[in-house]
Structure 1
Amino acid sequence: MFDTILLPTDGSEYAEAAADTGLELAQTHDATVHVVSVADTGPLGDLRLPGDAASAKDAMRSQAREFVDVIVERAEAADLDVTGTVLQGPPESELLEYARNNDVDLIVMGTRGRGGVHRMAMGSVTDHVIRFGDIPVFVGNSGPNSN
């Protein structure tokens, strides 16, 4: 049913919990996994890190790579076909474009993550992906320690 599953991550516990579900689905369907993190290097994304813009963007890309690598390692340990990608730009549009360009059948993502000022100004990434995407989205709304 699902040949390609996209697991967006921002390193939050909610993204990690959604990744667990996505990896289980990938095993069940023998699907290829795409792990993506988007370094929000737009004007509001720069507000999250101190220092000059170039250093902040480098730090955000490096952090995004770390988030991706954690889930890629878990997918490899489960013997899944996996790719890891770091993008930069507005997360909501970058994720949808990536999903369309890579023939993704399902997006599995959490609802609470890192957002701060960006989320208040623009709305959540998950909300945007659900509203403007044409790909099924499996949404988890709790982290591993919630009731």
Structure 2
Amino acid sequence: MYDVILVPTDGSEYAESAAETALGLAEAHDAAVHVVCVADTGPVGGLRLPGDAESAEDAIRERAREYVSRVADRGEARGLEVTTAVPSGPPGETILEYADDVSADLIVMGTRGRGGLQRMALGSVTDHVVRFGDVQVLVDSGTD
């Protein structure tokens, strides 16, 4: 039923719960998994931060790589074929473009993420993906 499952993550508890759901579905369907974390650098551009990163953009990309690696490691430990990516751009649009590029059959994501003010029901990125995508989206509430 599913050949390619896309798992957007931002490292939040909701994304981690959705990743577990996605990995279970991938096992059940012998599907490939693509884990993506969009580096939403927005207006920070070349802003310099304290620490080792050359810029805010570098720090954001490094954190994104850590998030996708965590999920990828869990998938690979289950024997799944996992591909990771850290594209830049507006998160909702970038997730949908990536889903199209890899011919995803399903996107599994959390209800909310690490953003600032959250929407009451769905996070703004999840809402965008659900409303504007043309691929099935499973929204994991992250509750037991």
The residue correspondences of 1:23-38 to structure 2 (distance < 5 A) are 23-38=23-38
* Cα distance, 1:51 vs structure 2: 3.3
Is residue 102 from structure 1 mapped to residue 102 from structure 2 by the alignment? yes
Separation in 2, partners of 1:107, 1:50: 34
Opposite residue 27 of structure 1, the aligned amino acid is E
Once residues 31 and 108 of structure 2 are traced to their aligned partners in structure 1, the CA distance between those partners, rounded to angstroms, is: 13
1:124 CA displacement:
0.7
Counterparts of 1:76-95 in structure 2, within 5 Å, are: 76-95=76-95
Deviation at 1:141, TM superposition (A): 1.6
Mapped partners of 2:48, 2:135: distance in 1: 36
The Cα shift of 1:42 comes to 1.3
Indicate the residue corresponding to 1:134 in structure 2.
134
The residue that corresponds to 2:49 in the other structure is: 51
Offset, 1:41: 1.2
SS at match of 1:87: coil
1:67-78 matched pairs, under 5 angstroms: 67-78=67-78
Q: Size of the alignment, in residue pairs?
A: 137
Shift of residue 50, structure 1, vs aligned partner: 7.2
SS at match of 2:42: coil
TM superposition score normalised by structure 1:
0.86
RMSD: 2.1
Could you list the runs of 5+ residues in structure 2 that have no partner in the other structure?
none
What is the letter of the counterpart of residue 41 of structure 1? T
What letter corresponds to residue 13 of structure 2 in structure 1? E
Counterpart secondary structure, 1:89:
coil
Large movers: runs of 4+ above 6 Å: none
TM-score, length of structure 2 as denominator length: 0.88
CA distance in structure 2 between the aligned counterparts of 1:51 and 1:70, rounded to whole angstroms: 24
Aligned-pair identity in percent equals: 59
Moved more, 123-132 or 15-24: 123-132
Shift of 1:5: 0.1
Superimposed CA distance per residue, residues 100-133 of structure 1 (whole angstroms, 9 cap, x where no aligned partner): 011000000001111116x67xx61000000000
Question: Deviation string for 1:59-92 (max 9, x for gaps)?
Answer: 0000000000000000000000110111111101
Aligned partner of residue 26 in structure 1, secondary structure? helix
Structure with a larger share of its residues in helix? 1
Cα gap change, 1:114 to 1:135, in 2 (>3 Å)? same
